[in-house]
Amino acid sequence: MLHLVLVLFVTADEPSCPAGQSRTADTQGHCCWPAQAWSTTQQLCVGVPQCPPGTQAEGQGCTSACPEGQSIGPDTQGHCCWPAQAWSQGRATCVGLPQCAAGFTAQGEQCVKGPPAPAAAVTVPAATAAGSSDDDKPPPGMHVERHFRVGLIAGGAAAFGVGWLLAIAVSVGGGAYAAAKPKNTCWASVSEIGWVPFIGPALAIGGLSNPALHDEGGTQCQKDALIYAPGVAVAAISTIAQFAGAAMMVLGFTLRTHELVPDEPHASRDDGDGGPLLGVHLGAAGSPLGLSFTVTRF
């Protein structure tokens, strides 16, 4: 009985075999792959092994048959998983955040070969440009400049100028005609108000409905085809051009573009000839302007 207890005690203290290997009657207490036996002469396990799932025979041993970086472990139930993962019977896949080997990058629960993806480019939300949020600030050393839309402003100014100059030309021409033909009160009325920006042309056409106004022949203005019909067309063109031009200029001043640029602090220096040269930058962080100017004295 004492001998049996000692045998059991010694057996219990024997270290466990690596995964997939075991001790059998043929291994003489050594850990070998299934179907192998221990060679006392060679001091190793010999024979073609019967390798467990996830491994393959290579010589007289078993090596991993898993894809590069994956392996079979105690938690993988015979499946190839990334390190630190376990096999999920319900999902039928390896789960858990993987510990990727060198040359691999984690993407979710997978490891992909290659370096990490580059960081996304810095974007500047509209709230940052307005300086309305402390959480959306530009990176240190940078600030947001807001620039007027010069194309809209220039186009709007041109459209407004064409429309208003057309009204002025009609008013001046009407005044000259009325001076030559004093009995023609139609053109006299147009010349008095038609030049007013925006509303002048419409008021001038509306005023021609006054029955007291007539041409040199005594015909009421609205009934004179050479005055009223062309006047309506010119007034419409002038009014539309003026309002459209003004709207474009307003949009050019309000819908400004945002640009992320390095900070340029206020600078003051001497130009070397005794005259001060002051460079002032108005594009500091949080400023609604994106302008700069220099004052110099020669």
Alpha carbons within 13 A on the beta-carbon side of 154: 3
Looking at residue 71, what is its pLDDT?
Answer: 83
Q: Cβ distance 66 to 82 under 8 Å?
A: no
Distance CA 236, CA 18 (A): 94
- Tell me the average pLDDT across 153-182: 94
Q: So what's the pLDDT on residue 191?
A: 92
Distances (CA, A) of 133 to 26, 125, 210, 290: 76, 10, 59, 19
pLDDT band per the 50, 70, 90 thresholds, residue 285 = very low
Both tokens assigned to 268: 């003051």
Whether the full predicted model's pTM is greater than 0.95, yes or no, is no
Neighbours of 289 (CB within 10 A): 14
DSSP label of 281: E
Which pLDDT band, with edges at 50, 70 and 90, does 139 fall under?
confident
Label residue 141 by pLDDT band (50, 70, 90).
confident
pLDDT digits (tens, 9 = 90+) for 97-133: 998 988 888 888 999 987 776 655 444 454 444 444 5
- pLDDT for 220 equals 95
In angstroms, the first-to-last Cα distance of the chain is: 117
3-state secondary structure of 237: helix
**Tens of pLDDT along 35-63?**
999 999 999 999 999 888 777 888 888 87
Q: How far, in Å, are 68, 108, 197, 275 from residue 103 at the CA level?
A: 11, 16, 71, 62
Categorize the per-residue pLDDT at 161 as very low, low, confident or very high, splitting at 50, 70 and 90. Answer: very high
Kindly list the domain boundaries of the chain, sorted by start residue.
69-106, 150-254, 262-296
Q: pLDDT tens digits, residue range 67-100? A: 888 888 888 887 889 899 999 999 889 999 998 9
pLDDT of residue 265: 59
Q: What is the mean pLDDT of residues 230-256?
A: 94
Query: Are the beta carbons of 52 and 59 closer than 8 angstroms?
Result: no
Residue 274 has pLDDT above 70, yes or no: no
276 forms bridges with which residues in the sheet?
Answer: 270
Which two structure tokens, joined as six digits, stand for 250?
């307003």
pLDDT of residue 20: 80
How is residue 175 written in tokens?
Answer: 């005044």
